Amino acid sequence: MSEAATLTRKADFPGLLTADGQPWHYLDTAASAQKPQAVIDAMSRALGKDYATVHRGVYSRSAQMTLGYESARRRVAEFMGARSENEIVFVRGATEAINLVAASWGMANIGEGDRIVLSTLEHHSNIVPWQMVAERTGAQIDVCPLTEDHRIDLGALEALLTPRTRLVSLAHVSNVLGSVLDAREAADLAHSVGAKIILDGCQAAPRMALDMAALDCDFYAFSGHKTYGPTGIGVLWAREDILDAMPPWQGGGAMIDRVTFEKTTYAPPPQRFEAGTPMITEAIALHAAIDYVDALGPDRLFAHESALAKQLRDELRSMNSVTLFGPEESAGIVSFALEGVHPHDLGTILDEENVAIRAGHHCAQPLMDHLGVSATARASFGLYSDESDIAALLRGIERTQRIFG
């Protein structure tokens, strides 16, 4: 048995069984990961016998919950290689993180005639917030094309950059293609013209070692639910000096220093960006998820999922009716099209075989236009995936071909 195969721990994930106890072949981890029992237990304890609000109570359980909540922030900082927990802002997800940067830093630093650089493969959450900034400020959006094997073309990125470029916002790993960005090179290019760079790390955080100092980016965002944690929580990392200079985004409790009707002063980061009662139980469960992932080792996770993606690509390539998208080396994500079969039809038939894939545009319609399709089928692997999931998918595809043949 290979080292990659030994990573699979299906028994830790109660969601990987059907209602009648049969194996459920979950190949939609890029959309949202299944949760290990350790995370479920942490969430249950936090919602139950440990529950109290944080930061405000003087009673002992509130103090303990506050310690747990802030411990989660320190754990995330360690996980990301941040210099300080003060660089970690808890948000509802990566979408909110990017919107926060756009509404706060973007509106304060981007003006008429300035340039914002995105790429062809971006998720809508890394397109629409910047379009909103451009519409309000008069800035312009430049789109970096892809290489022939569907990676962000860093040579083209360099050519796009000008002294008016204020921001570069790119996916660290594509949610459709699994292509991995050379993030440090992209950061160096952005900084060469004085621009800031934000990385969408939703697909990278669950399967790659993160080191903010090594990446040298300015902002980094990821979602908890894709990192084997709960929904409703995500992380925005930013350099402390940048956060210090950013104005608040939302107003309310917890983000203030003092409020009078004449004037309000604000708390320092990260509290300045966490208005209202925070996602207490979600942060504690995210802590448990990060512990689980880190114990297995991000480098081993990447190798495991990439090996499965390569195996699936090799199997699909042998089928004449299948078109593959993305590079040969994929971070655990394989997008494909089956000739004469809409991805939604394929997904429906696979569901009857207890196989779950994603079918659609994957919130990346500009990329679909570039690929010349309206949708793709996407199989995405997690740390619990193994060869049995590939075998079940292939059986389902063969059945689909017989039905549509």
- Strands 355-356 and 25-26 come out as parallel
The CB-side HSE value for 305 (13 A sphere, CA atoms) comes to: 28
388: how many CB neighbours lie within 10 A of its CB? Answer: 12
Q: Does 206 sit behind a cis peptide bond, omega within 30 degrees of 0 on the bond before it?
A: no
How many whole angstroms separate alpha carbon 48 and alpha carbon 140? Answer: 49
Q: How many residues does the chain have?
A: 405
**Burial classification of residue 174, based on how many CB atoms lie within 10 Å of its CB (0-12 exposed, 13-18 middle, 19 or more buried):** buried
Q: Which helix (H) or strand (E) holds 90?
A: strand 88-91
Please name the residue ranges forming H helices in 259-386: 280-296, 298-317, 343-352, 365-371
How many whole angstroms separate alpha carbon 237 and alpha carbon 254? Answer: 19
State the DSSP string of 95-109.
HHHHHHHIIIIIHHH
How many whole angstroms separate alpha carbon 310 and alpha carbon 178? Answer: 11
Catalytic residue (choose from 144, 202, 217, 363): 363
How many whole angstroms separate alpha carbon 360 and alpha carbon 357? Answer: 10
Q: Annotated catalytic, 363?
A: yes
- Strands 333-338 and 88-91 come out as unpaired
Quote the Cα angle for 15-20-21, to 5°.
Answer: 55
Kindly give, in sequence order, each residue whose CB lies less than 8 Å from that of residue 349, ignoring residues fewer than 6 positions away: 396, 399, 400, 403
Tokens of 141: 């959006």
On whether the CB atoms of residues 70 and 78 are closer than 8 A, the answer is no
In 178-269, the DSSP E strands lie at: 196-200, 219-223, 234-238, 256-259, 264-266
Give me the active site residues, please. 363
